[in-house]
Homo-oligomer: A and B are copies of this chain.
Amino acid sequence: MGRAASPRPGENQAPTMADVAERAGVSAMTVSRALKEGSRVSKATREKIMAAVNELGYVLDQSAGSLSSRKTGFVAAIVPSINNSNFADTARGITDELESTGLQLLLGYTDYTVEKEERLIEAMLRRRPEGIILTGGAHTDRARRLLESAGIPVVETWELPAKPIDQVVGFSNEEAMGLLVKTLARKGYRKFGYIGGTTSRDTRGSQRREGFVRAIEELGLPPGRLVSFGVPPISIEQGGQAVVSMLERWPDTEAVLCVSDLSAFGALMECKRRGMRVPQDIAIAGFGDYEVAAFCHPGITTVNVDCYGIGREAARRLIQLIRGGEKQRGQEIVLTSYRIVEREST
């Protein structure tokens, strides 16, 4: 419209491939090929085209291209929050793995709710991503349906969903927390407390709590003391408040395990503020092996999870499936590693 009205097309509009083609004295198709790696265009032609591209300041329009080629070059990833270094690491793993492929990441945050996840999934599917990476296995029914009918590979991460949609790259949060309990029990601790958020929105948090309770039972220890505090994800500050309420109610607690290192760090700092000795008066452990846990004083015992590796592996599988086309293998589950890191806090 604005273009048609103007006497000299392309005067004020952004240049198109046709403008470049005209300037270089070739067809649009040749320009398209010159701008795409791996297609054969003679050196002389390519140089003419590149010159025209630079003179006009042309930038390829991928939305037009992907409509035609039916490949958008997008991959979608949905994490609970990016303001959490564990998930930020996963996001970075995904980005790093995608970098060389030309695929671009669409990133979204759920704020730990499945409703927001559903909305995000729909918003992303409107962009026709070629694959999608999710965190966890809890989704609304509609979200599942949308994903199933999207016809693209799906990778669920960070958990082992009971009913996987497609691919899985994760670990058992329950087992990991159980291993932490057993490791500490071996050191002689018997009266355990657990600090986590108040709701089950954070499914990984719930799984860790279950793992805690189950391990205590299996070991035949006195029942674990559970403190729920704050809406997940719980902060450093809430970790501090939670440990206070734990100690008020059960002053003889010997070891407190926290749903994440952030709450553990909050608990640790609060104990120190109150003049308690860690681990002599109380032992504290976290989950996630955040940088802060390694370098605070005393260092916090925790469960190291390969956050970055989860992202990379999830993206790698997605790329394989996208590139592989028809010969997509069936559902597959990749277990990622975790390990207990013992530090001075226990």
Q: Report which A residues bind B (CB closer than 8 A).
A: 14, 57, 59-64, 66-67, 72, 82-83, 85, 88-89, 91-92, 95, 104-107, 109, 122-123, 125-128, 145-146, 149-151, 235-237, 240, 262, 265-266, 269, 272-273, 291-292, 294-297
A295 CB contacts on chain B under 8 angstroms: 236-237, 240, 265-266, 269
Q: Is the CB of B63 within 8 A of A72?
A: yes
Given A57-B145, A62-B127, A63-B128, is A106 in contact with B109 using a C-beta cutoff of 8 Å?
A: no
A14 CB contacts on chain B under 8 angstroms: 149-151
Q: How many copies does the complex hold?
A: 2
A64 CB contacts on chain B under 8 angstroms: 67
> By DSSP majority rule, is chain A's interface helix, strand, loop, or mixed?
helix
* Closest Cβ neighbor of A61 among chain B residues: B128
CA–CA, A126 to B63, complex, Å? 8
Contact for A236 among B128, B262, B291, CB less than 8 A? B291
Least Cβ–Cβ distance between A293 and chain B, in angstroms: 10
CA–CA, A285 to B57, complex, Å? 46
* Closest Cβ neighbor of A237 among chain B residues: B295
Task: Name 15 A/B residue pairs within 8 A (Cβ), A-sorted.
Answer: A57-B149, A59-B125, A59-B150, A61-B128, A62-B126, A62-B127, A63-B66, A82-B88, A83-B85, A92-B109, A104-B106, A104-B123, A236-B295, A269-B296, A273-B297
CA–CA, A127 to B61, complex, Å? 6
Least Cβ–Cβ distance between A5 and chain B, in angstroms: 15
A89 CB contacts on chain B under 8 angstroms: 83
Q: Most B CB atoms within 10 A — which of A72, A109, A146, A292?
A: A292
Q: Most B CB atoms within 10 A — which of A14, A66, A95, A146?
A: A14
Given A82-B82, A83-B92, is A61 in contact with B236 using a C-beta cutoff of 8 Å?
A: no
Contact for A146 among B57, B145, B237, CB less than 8 A? B57
CA–CA, A72 to B92, complex, Å? 25
Contact for A95 among B72, B88, B109, B292, CB less than 8 A? B109
Given A63-B67, A85-B85, A88-B82, is A292 in contact with B265 using a C-beta cutoff of 8 Å?
A: yes
